[in-house]
Structure 1
Amino acid sequence: MTLPTQLDDLLKLAAETGDRLAPLAADTDAGRDNGHETYRILRESGLLALLVPQEAGGAGLGFGDYWRVLAELGAHNGAAALGFNMHHVVIGALADAAGTRLPPAAETFRAWMLDEVVNGRKLFASATSEAGRGAKLRGMQTRYRLSDDGTHYILSGKKSFVSLAGAADYYVVAAAAESGAEDTGEASHFVVAADDPGVSFGTVQHMSAMYGTSTAPMTLDEVRVPRSRLYLGVEGMSLFKVVREPHWMVAGYTGAYLGIAEALFRHTVDHVTASPARADSPVVQQELGRMSARLRAARALVHEAGDLVTAERGSLEANAMVHAAKYVVGEAGPQLAQDALRLCGSAAVSRSHPLERLIREAQFAHVMPAKPQECLEYLGKAAVGVNLYDARAFAW
């Protein structure tokens, strides 16, 4: 299928796809299936190519509009939207570089990866987090070295919380050079195929929510990766990229959590309006008004921050705004969940009602990087004039 390029058409496609994803959410959340059907549907929809430049066969969507589409999916199936974003986190840097001439190795890599997405319908995922370190790139324990004949990189290490485990075709793995210092920040990324010898996954973790992300530990045992699969053909630049342009690493998930907040409000309104007497209560209307105001404020900030990244990617203000948006959405979701509990009572805690799942899912915004305290620290550093382009200013 040919992917639409106009936002309205893409939002319509996302809504139609979401309608197919929504009925799957409850069974996946309960562990009755592995959630992989949601990613088959997303592949089939063509939405994996949202960020791919139009000349390469994609929609060429900017970051702000990507968040709008992601929120639409998140309102239907939050876990599927998070997994969908994992794919775009690793496609994002390629999309950001659209129209920029790159060295030959980088051009070849970009063309290969985009073709895999558009024509191969391949699903990518990120493998960064490590036990005890989270997603921080400095001090990475997964290591790589060049093979004796110089044709491959050899990766060894363990990753924790790898989403799309067993569902993705490729994993973009962060690793530090074997010869580097213990606290080196010179991390690189490599594209590892799911069926590369030496790649294995542990048991999918049964978390309190978001089981549908298919998250599991990953082991790399002397995995040989062709030199052509070094991300953009450059070693040691990953931390520099995150510091200069942090929007994917720290805030890509934000659109999905906005969608979950939207769904929380919608289901609460539906429950209240099912009882005309309750809906006519001024007290209930005030509570809904508070929820509406919180949601509108979060939505406005997300849209403004996303559009600013599209217009001024890497600017200090855009970087600060995405941290602010991530923080505010992470606060708004749990607040709306508490409001829903007050208004809906037993419906909000019954496993038979979508509200119960949404209330659990909303809490996970605090787990995903950047965490609330990291967002606040970034904004505080911006306020006092710290050089936010200096990697030494952060724990990344």
Structure 2
Amino acid sequence: MIDIGIAEPSIEEKEEIIEKCRQLKEVFAKRAPKYDKEGSFPVENFEDLKEAGLLGIMIPKEFGGFGADFLTYTKALEQLAMGCSSTALTFNMHNIAVGSIAELKLEGIGGSRGKVMKEFRDWVYDQSINQKKVFASASSEPGIGAHFSKLKTTYQRVDEGFAINGVKSFVSMAGYADYYVVAAKSAESTSEVPAISYLVVEKENPGTRIEEIWDVLGMRATATNPVYFENCIVPKEALFLGSEGMALYKIAREPHWLVGGYIGVYLGISVATFQFLVEFLKKKKIPGTDTSMSEDPTIQYRMGELYSALESARGITYNAARLVKEKLGSQEANNAIHHAKYLVSELGPWLSSQAIRMCGASSLAKRLPLERYYRDSRCAGLMPATSDDCLSYLGKAAFGADLSKPSETYW
């Protein structure tokens, strides 16, 4: 059994991690309008993340990282997203790969299997911390999304290692990331639950091809382009943690990385929206008067409603992240993550819509961030797990389904 838990940072050290992100938030916020308008990738922001050592935010202190737990990481993402949500979302893609490894304590695994897993872990840590390399998650496919059991991308063993063939439709950081972590099924698999594995592909691999077509409603700076893998050959060492065919079972048992990582991002957008609303209404006058709209009893009532919804979602999000740490893989933790993902996904569009109504037409100006918050928040319910998938998951849990089985989940 793989044990969880390595020496964690102190309370003060956790606050320092969040403070680093809070400081970057202010810098990112100044650049966000430009990146959004151009639809260009936030390269400068990632240089700042690298300089701050945050590519190793989840990597244990013993290995040179910050050792953040899932709650600290969620709070850090919240801060980054308040500045630039596209940066926060793509940063989360890196940590889907790195963070999932950081949760594992591999020292208790012996033999050749343990050796291979440790070597892979050490390589990922070195690439992230010392080489400052970025990993991108490549899972979603055309017409399938992130439903892993339906994946069409395949891999098969060849003399050089593995050959990958398929297309990934939504690969954030495509063209920027140094490595793609590709979800694929074994070409030889005949099981109803396909043998899904992850394989790491270098950006310069001649078997990859990017189609740069990302021009969308929201999250415009994520460079989420399709990537084609055409007889893409990778060495045997590219097999994630040296483990073949177990990815779908791992995701079903511990879905928090593929689901929960988005929650901090979209919570951050809602927090930024609320803060903008407060400052805007303080300055705006009640029509025909010199009185601030913040003094209007009706406005105060509506602000109380928004505050209550936001703080409820924040509390539920923090509790879900805490449960991941305390009860990793439990049904309680998994339910909490899906509950939080649903609430935060639905909160953002509603809150930003209310903010537009309360601020009036002038708040839609491109020079103000509210219009961007509205567009970015609209995308939350589409990210895995989608809002519909979250509700389906929670409904099955209520009826006692065994959701540790991939066949019982939406995956």
Match of 2:309 among 291, 294, 315: 294
Percent of aligned positions with the same letter in both sequences? 37
Tell me which residue corresponds to 2:130. Answer: 119
Q: 1:381 to 1:211 in 2, by over 3 A?
A: same
The CA distance in 2 between the partners of 1:182 and 1:164, in whole Å, is 32
Of 340, 343, 356 in structure 2, the residue corresponding to residue 341 of structure 1 is 356
Q: How do 1:60-71 residues align onto structure 2 when only pairs under 5 Å count?
A: 60-71=67-78
Aligned counterparts of 1:198 and 1:50: Cα–Cα separation in 2: 31
Alignment match, 1:226? 235
Question: Any conservation in 2 of the 1:17–1:45 contact (CA below 8 Å)?
Answer: no
Summarize the alignment of residues 128-139 of structure 1 with structure 2, pairs less than 5 Å apart: 128-139=139-150
Which of 179, 187, 212 is the matching residue for 1:178? Answer: 187
Alignment deviations for residues 267-302 of structure 1 (CA, whole Å, 9 cap, x no partner)? 000100113421111111111111110110000000
Q: 2:394 matched to 1:379? A: yes
CA deviation string 1:53-81 (max 9, x = no partner): 11000011111111011001111111110
- Paired residues for 1:11-160 under 5 Å: 11-31=18-38, 33-98=40-105, 100-102=107-109, 103-147=114-158, 149=159, 151-160=160-169
Give 1:394 deviation, angstroms.
Answer: 2.0
Structure 2 letter corresponding to 1:303 = Y
How many Å separate the matches in 2 of 1:33 and 1:123? 17
Amino acid at match of 1:349: L
- Secondary structure of the 1:213 match is coil
Pairing partner for 1:312 from 307, 318, 327 = 327
Secondary structure at the aligned position of 1:109 is classed as helix
Provide Cα deviations, 1:137-163, integer angstroms capped at 9, x if missing partner.
11211111111x3x4111111110100
Give the C-alpha shift of residue 21 in structure 1: 1.2
Residues 141, 168 of structure 2: 8 Å contact kept? yes
Counterpart in 2 of 1:242? 251
Q: Which residue of 1 aligns with 2:292?
A: 277
Which secondary structure state, in structure 2, belongs to the residue aligned with residue 212 of structure 1?
Answer: coil
Deviations 1:241-269 (Å, cap 9, x if unpaired)? 00000001122110000000000000000
1:266 aligns with 2:281: no
Residue in structure 1 matched with residue 337 of structure 2 by the alignment = 322
Q: Do 2:283 and 2:292's aligned partners in 1 also have CA atoms closer than 8 Å?
A: no
CA–CA separation in structure 2 for the residues paired with 1:311 and 1:252: 17
Q: Which runs of 4+ in 1 moved over 4 A?
A: none
TM-score normalized by the length of structure 1: 0.96
**Which range moves more in the overlay, 158-167 or 101-110?**
101-110
| Deviation sequence 1:100-140 (CA, Å, 0-9, x none) | 53411111101111111111111111000000000111121
Q: Provide the C-alpha distance between the structure 1 equivalents of 2:311 and 2:193, rounded to a whole number of angstroms.
A: 42
Distance 2:108 2:84 in 1: 38
- 2:383 pairs with 368, 379, 392, which one? 368
Distance 1:242 1:155 in 2: 21
Which structure 1 residue ranges, 5 or more long, are not aligned?
A: none
